[in-house]
């Protein structure tokens, strides 16, 4: 458990400016697997199957095994807890076998890690059978844990032979993944690392699925989710943004964010988490990640813009909060698509070259109206977009489709803020990106206003990418919640200001982070130039002398 005395107390939960306890889990040890050890472990695991698979496929084999290992180790922890409660292990195991509800997931003998590791023979068959046995006993894991056939062949030859699979299992066995051994986000961390390390290296865009963890934490703290609310991510990837919202909600009431019911103990009422994901493998990882965090909600699969799956009656399901990082400047959606949308989400049709404002309009349509609020701060969104999404078309003569969409949301007073992020955070681009903040129910003192935060300098150099340190995340979130101008950092503008600037909402237009210009008198500049010229003359004379000594004619 976290030492609460070291965490600043949250503001009142019913305050619009409330900021949760700030404690993003970025490398805590506390006896748990730290980031450096995790990455070394995953690197060794990937190296063990190098050559057998294309690098982007490593995660498809490594992650399900880590998931099985986590479930098995947690089950062992629960047996130990129940053994202490009932007096002996045999009694505990007998009761668990009769009543699976005593544990979060029942792991049959065939599915335990000890059984998987028993022999180097018939490994692929044994691992596949173990995963399927676990899925049979736990319906919620069907189609999640059993998606990989470790015994599969192509043209009569095993894709991953028993030798390499056994080596991988032995490396995964190095780390225990029980309740006290690893943070709840162990699977998400592993997924992020493998995407970062191998997917992009093969020319695939990790950024299509992966939002840097500090950006995810920042979005969660900007939204300030409260227990009991529902949260939606229409491009959920591995569900990392949803999970960070749940962890932030737990912190907001002083609960340890690492604790879920898999770990036992009390916790805050959970958020209801909902997501849709297009890629079937990433969808399965999202389901695993939700399960391993013991979080409530639903993940569905499909193209959200073309076929939203989370519906109520004949319309879109509505949510208190939306958090998302859709693919930037996605093409392939024409005016005809937007015009014929059966859900009437799009009042303004984005250009075919960029669906950014199509995504924004979908998310706005998915937000609760104020009267439908199920909790504090309903009808709000934090959306990561390309920087140009808030400025393209402004200042140009004539009309522009993106500017028209931007104008419409501004005039409705739904845009609450824009945060300009630092450069070189994301894994598929060096572009900075922005976080667009929507609010369908602005409090009275914010109506007719937009906060623009220029956080472009809030970073530290990293390898291979920059990152926002904890202090930077806190500074950005607090500035937004306090809703005050901050010199060279944050400025509140009116809707009239936005109109005068042709609806350019780029924070860099309004907030200059540079140092004040230094003005010098002319005479001091002349004196400095004279001194520099004298130094140059002396160096020329010295050089000529050296060249003459060497016999050269100057």
- Residues with Cβ within 8 Å of residue 180, at least 6 apart in sequence: 31, 32, 77
User: Where does 35-157 have alpha helices with state H?
Assistant: 35-48, 58-86, 89-98, 113-116, 123-137
Exposed e or buried b per residue across 387-419, where buried means at least 16 C-beta atoms within 10 angstroms of its C-beta: bbbbbbbbeeeeebbbbbbbbbbbeebbbbbbb
Helix or strand holding residue 406 (H, E): helix 401-411
Q: What is the mean pLDDT of the chain?
A: 85
Given a cut of 50, whether residue 320 has pLDDT beyond it is yes
Q: Which of the two residues, 213 and 445, has the higher pLDDT score? A: 445
Question: pLDDT tens digit string along 465-488?
Answer: 899 999 999 999 999 999 999 999
The pTM of the whole model exceeds 0.85: no
Q: Are strands 415-420 and 321-324 parallel, antiparallel or unpaired?
A: unpaired
Helix residue ranges per DSSP H, 205-259: 213-223, 240-252
302 pLDDT more than 90: yes
Positive or negative, the CA dihedral 138, 139, 141, 146 is positive
Backbone angles phi, psi at 236, to 5 degrees: -75, -15
Question: Whole-angstrom Cα distance, residue 288 to residue 138?
Answer: 13
Average pLDDT on 279-305 reads 84
Return all residues near 58 (Cβ < 8 A) that are at least 6 apart: 45, 46, 49, 194, 198
Confidence category of residue 158, pLDDT binned at 50, 70, 90: very high
| Average pLDDT of span 313-317 | 91
Torsion angle of alpha carbons 474, 289, 51, 150, nearest 10°?
170
What confidence tens digit (pLDDT) does each residue in 72-114 have?
999 999 999 999 999 999 999 999 999 999 998 999 999 999 9
Higher-confidence residue of 539 and 137: namely 137
What is residue 396's predicted lDDT score, i.e. its pLDDT?
79
Q: What is the pLDDT of residue 263?
A: 40
Decide: 124 and 168 in contact? Cβ < 8 Å.
no
What is the mean predicted confidence (pLDDT) over 380-405?
A: 92
Q: 20-29, 51-60, 224-233: lowest mean pLDDT where?
A: 20-29
Q: Provide the pLDDT confidence category of residue 189 given band limits of 50, 70 and 90.
A: confident
| pLDDT reported for residue 171 | 97
| Res. 516: pLDDT tops 70 | no
Per-residue pLDDT for 510 more than 90? yes
**pLDDT score for 504:** 96
Stretch among 46-50, 290-294, 465-469, 516-520 having the lowest mean pLDDT: 516-520
């Amino acid at each position: 458990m976290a030492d609460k005395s070291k965490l600043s107390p949250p503001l009142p939960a019913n305050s619009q400016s409330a900021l949760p306890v700030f404690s993003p889990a970025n490398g805590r040890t506390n006896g748990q697997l730290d980031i450096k050890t995790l990455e070394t472990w995953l690197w060794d695991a990937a190296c063990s199957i190098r050559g057998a698979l294309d690098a982007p496929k490593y995660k498809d084999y490594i992650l399900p095994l880590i998931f099985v290992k986590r479930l098995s180790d947690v089950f062992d922890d629960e047996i130990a807890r129940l053994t202490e409660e009932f007096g002996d292990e045999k009694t505990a195991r007998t009761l668990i076998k009769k009543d699976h509800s005593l544990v979060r997931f029942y792991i049959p003998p065939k599915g335990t890690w000890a059984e998987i590791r028993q022999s180097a023979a018939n490994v692929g068959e044994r691992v596949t059978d173990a995963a399927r046995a676990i899925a049979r006993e736990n319906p919620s894991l069907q189609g999640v844990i059993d998606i990989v056939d470790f015994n599969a062949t192509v043209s009569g030859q095993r894709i991953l032979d028993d030798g390499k699979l056994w080596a991988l299992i032995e490396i995964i066995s190095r780390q225990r993944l029980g309740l006290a051994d690893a943070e709840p986000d162990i699977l998400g961390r592993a997924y992020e690392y493998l995407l970062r390390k191998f997917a992009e290296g093969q020319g695939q865009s990790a950024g299509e699925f992966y939002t840097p963890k500090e950006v995810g934490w920042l979005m969660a703290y900007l939204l300030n989710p409260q227990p009991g609310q529902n949260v939606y991510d229409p491009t959920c990837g591995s569900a990392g943004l949803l999970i960070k919202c749940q962890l932030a909600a737990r912190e907001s009431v002083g609960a340890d964010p690492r604790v879920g019911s898999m770990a036992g103990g009390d916790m805050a009422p959970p958020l209801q988490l909902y997501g849709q994901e297009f890629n079937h493998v990433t969808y399965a990882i999202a389901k695993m990640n939700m399960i391993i965090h013991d979080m409530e909600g639903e993940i569905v699969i499909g193209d959200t813009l073309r076929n939203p799956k989370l519906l109520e009656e004949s319309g879109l399901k509505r949510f208190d909060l939306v958090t998302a990082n859709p693919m930037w400047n996605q093409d392939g959606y024409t005016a005809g698509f937007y015009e014929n949308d059966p859900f009437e989400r799009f009042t303004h049709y984005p250009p075919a070259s960029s669906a950014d404002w199509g995504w924004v309009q979908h998310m706005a349509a998915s937000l609760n109206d104020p009267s439908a609020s199920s909790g504090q701060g309903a009808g709000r969104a934090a959306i990561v977009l390309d920087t140009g999404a808030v400025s393209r078309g402004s200042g140009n003569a004539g009309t522009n489709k993106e500017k028209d969409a931007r104008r419409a949301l501004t005039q409705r007073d739904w845009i609450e803020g824009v945060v300009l992020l630092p450069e070189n955070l994301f894994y598929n681009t060096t572009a900075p990106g922005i976080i667009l903040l929507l609010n369908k129910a602005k409090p009275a003192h914010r109506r007719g206003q937009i906060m623009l935060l220029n956080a472009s300098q809030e970073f530290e150099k990293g390898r291979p990418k920059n990152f926002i340190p904890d202090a930077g995340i806190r500074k950005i979130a607090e500035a937004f919640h306090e809703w005050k101008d901050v010199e060279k950092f944050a400025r509140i503008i009116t809707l009239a200001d936005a109109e005068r600037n042709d609806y350019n909402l780029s924070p860099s237009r309004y907030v200059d982070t540079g140092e004040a210009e230094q003005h010098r008198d002319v005479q001091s500049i002349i004196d400095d130039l004279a001194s520099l010229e004298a130094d140059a003359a002396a160096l020329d004379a010295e050089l000529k002398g050296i060249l003459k000594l060497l016999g050269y004619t100057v």
